[in-house]
Amino acid sequence: MDDRRLRNLAATGLVLLGAVCLPSSGKGEASRQRVRTADDALPSPERIQAVRAYIKKAWSTLGRSNRDLPRAALDPKMKRAEGQPSPVYLSPREDRERVTSELKSLLGPAEFAKIELRTLPPDPNTITDHGLLYLPRPYVVPGGRFNEMYGWDSYFIQVGLLRDGELERARDMAANFIYEIDKYGTILNANRTYYLTRSQPPFLTEMLLGVYRQDHDKEFLRAAWPAVQAYYRFWTTPPHLVESTGLSRYYDLGQGPAPEVLSDERDAQGRTHYDRVREYYRTHAVDDYDVNQYYDRATDQLTPLFYRGDRSVRESGFDPSNRYGPFSVDIIHYAPVCLNSLLYR
């Protein structure tokens, strides 16, 4: 759709909205004149072009790759001592020698010294010094404190990339997800070690088809097919599958508080999200679910099931919210229409 048509469609909507919403003054013609014409209702073509130029530049600003891995490895959510190398973890199934050689060549000695390559332990719950998970292709991050490649965020980022003619970047994003499935077992919430126990809403096939609609590369689709099947199995086997219904749910495989919450998510009084939850449970009645499953009033402690639910709502992408009752911790007892619809696609 060209700019002119887009502007006119949007402006027509504004005109209609104004016609419905403007109060009647008894002077119909005067009221109608207060509604701007289609050509005036939206920014000028020059202004739109300036916004598009800003977006085009942002793909590079928010882009991350192994050529600038020390910048990508920085995590605003996990504070480290100044000058301390940032850990970058490799899958046990990855060729560490090859990756080390490749990164040394790309970065040079000074930049390579800013990272520390490590191999993931068998149980991700045992990791205490969290870090970035290696990905082979460039990717685009949401920005701010979110300096990693996220799950369903990446689908919406990719929609923008494809619309803006950034096919190679869009293809790289999809390829990284194929890599995550192969090396880390699933598409992750994001490529940090504290996200290894959960995924996010499944948009992989939409991302693959988005690329295919532009490059028509059937070999790319064919090569991705085993990963698509594996990712579908991730969602359609227990504990994500509720066998009594045949439907799937969000369910984080980790235990205890989410590390990134304890490390970074504090308010002006120094309280974590979990401190505020306990305060809420102490002072409010909860009718949406049996709060005793999630909070022990006698000890003023959140239960292991609370943390399971809290982690699981983060897998859903609807964090923080009350979509499934206060703090959405009851999400593990739902088979959401949104998730199962995505799996059907």
Residue 227, pLDDT score:
98
Residue 3, pLDDT score:
43
| pLDDT per position as a tens digit, 145-160 | 899 999 999 999 999 9
C-beta separation of 345 from 254 below 8 A: no
Residue 16, pLDDT score:
32
Q: What angle do CA 324, 341, 240 make, to 5 degrees?
A: 60
Question: In three state form, how does the secondary structure of 118-134 look?
Answer: EECCCCHHHCCCCCEEC
Pairing verdict, β 301-302 and 295-296: antiparallel
CA distance 2 to 260: 43
Higher-pLDDT residue of 81, 37: 81
| pLDDT per position as a tens digit, 212-222 | 999 999 999 99
Closest CA to 311 of 266, 276, 273: 273
Residue 12 has pLDDT above 70, yes or no: no
Looking at every residue in the chain, the average pLDDT score rounds to 89
Residue 29 has pLDDT above 60, yes or no: no
| pLDDT per position as a tens digit, 104-144 | 999 999 999 999 999 999 998 899 999 999 999 999 999 98
Residue 169 has pLDDT above 70, yes or no: yes
Residue 48 has pLDDT above 50, yes or no: yes
C-beta separation of 61 from 52 below 8 A: no
Residue 24 has pLDDT above 50, yes or no: no
> In this structure, what DSSP letter does residue 2 have?
-
| pLDDT per position as a tens digit, 311-328 | 999 999 998 799 999 999
Residue 10, pLDDT score:
37
Residue 330 has pLDDT above 90, yes or no: yes
Closest CA to 65 of 111, 120, 97, 109: 111
CA distance 120 to 135: 14
Strand (E) or helix (H) holding 184: helix 167-184
pLDDT level of residue 268 (50, 70, 90 thresholds):
confident
pLDDT level of residue 35 (50, 70, 90 thresholds):
low
Q: Where are the beta strands (DSSP E) in the chain?
A: 63-64, 86-90, 115-119, 132-133, 139-140, 241-242, 247-248, 295-296, 301-302
Residue 41 has pLDDT above 80, yes or no: no
- As a whole number of Å, the end-to-end CA separation of the chain is 26
Per DSSP, the residues of 218-286 read HHHHHHHHHHHHHHHHHHSSTTTEETTTTEE-------SS-HHHHHH-B-TTS-BHHHHHHHHHHH---
Pairing verdict, β 86-90 and 132-133: parallel
Residue 338 has pLDDT above 90, yes or no: yes
Tokens of 322: 């009350």
pTM: 0.86
Strand (E) or helix (H) holding 304: helix 304-316
Residue 220, pLDDT score:
97
